[in-house]
């Protein structure tokens, strides 16, 4: 019988053959310009070209026009921008829902006012009002003589 289970060592990342690649200076400059224009992110470059993030930051230090001018650039990942936009959309949705709920509460309050006026009945419980006669303490009834 042939063993059809996958070999765990096959999937182990440490067993991958390591090779050294070099990128041209022009390629690095192009990628840094893309970073400066926020077309791509450090994570995207690192993942796409299998380059460590530290190497990409070294490219930034070496080839960035802003780094040469000693101007700090905030490198914001695209995913952060997308997350912010998604959160803003979520806030708008929640504000809309809160507005609908507020309208519903106001509608119900108005309906209660109309019902109270029409039927001459106190529907809303007033704060500090006396309890109805049917809800008295049962302590005196439960004492044994």
Residue with tokens 């460590």: 52
Looking at the structure, tell me whether residues 63 and 27 fall in a common domain: yes
On whether residue 48 sits in a domain, the answer given is yes
How many angstroms separate the Cα of 121 from the Cα of each of 108, 110, 112? 16, 14, 10
Contact 123/115 with Cβ under 8 angstroms? yes
More confident residue, 98 or 63: 98
- Chain centre distance of CA 86: 7
What is the pLDDT, as a whole number, of residue 139? 54
On whether residue 141 sits in a domain, the answer given is no
- Chain centre distance of CA 106: 31
Range of the domain at 35: 20-68
Residues 6+ apart with CB under 8 A from 122: 116
Looking at the structure, tell me whether residues 62 and 90 fall in a common domain: no
pLDDT at 100 over 90: yes
Q: Which tokens is 45 given?
A: 């470059």
Question: How many distinct structural domains can be found in the chain?
Answer: 2
On whether residue 144 sits in a domain, the answer given is no
Q: pLDDT, tens digit, for every residue of 26-60?
A: 999 898 888 888 788 888 888 888 899 999 989 98
Looking at the structure, tell me whether residues 64 and 86 fall in a common domain: no
């Amino acid at each position: 019988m042939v063993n059809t289970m996958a070999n765990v060592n096959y999937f182990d990342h440490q067993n991958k053959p390591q090779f050294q690649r070099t990128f041209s200076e022009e390629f690095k400059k192009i990628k840094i310009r893309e970073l400066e224009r926020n077309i791509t992110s450090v994570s995207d470059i690192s993942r796409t070209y299998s380059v460590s993030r530290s190497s990409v930051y070294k490219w930034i230090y070496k080839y960035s026009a802003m780094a040469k001018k000693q101007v700090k650039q905030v490198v914001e990942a695209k995913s952060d921008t997308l997350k912010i936009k998604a959160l803003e959309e979520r806030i708008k949705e929640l504000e809309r829902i809160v507005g609908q709920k507020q309208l519903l509460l106001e509608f119900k309050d108005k309906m209660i006012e109309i019902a109270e006026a029409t039927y001459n009945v106190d529907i809303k419980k007033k704060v500090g009002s006396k309890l109805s006669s049917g809800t008295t303490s049962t302590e005196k009834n439960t004492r044994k003589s």
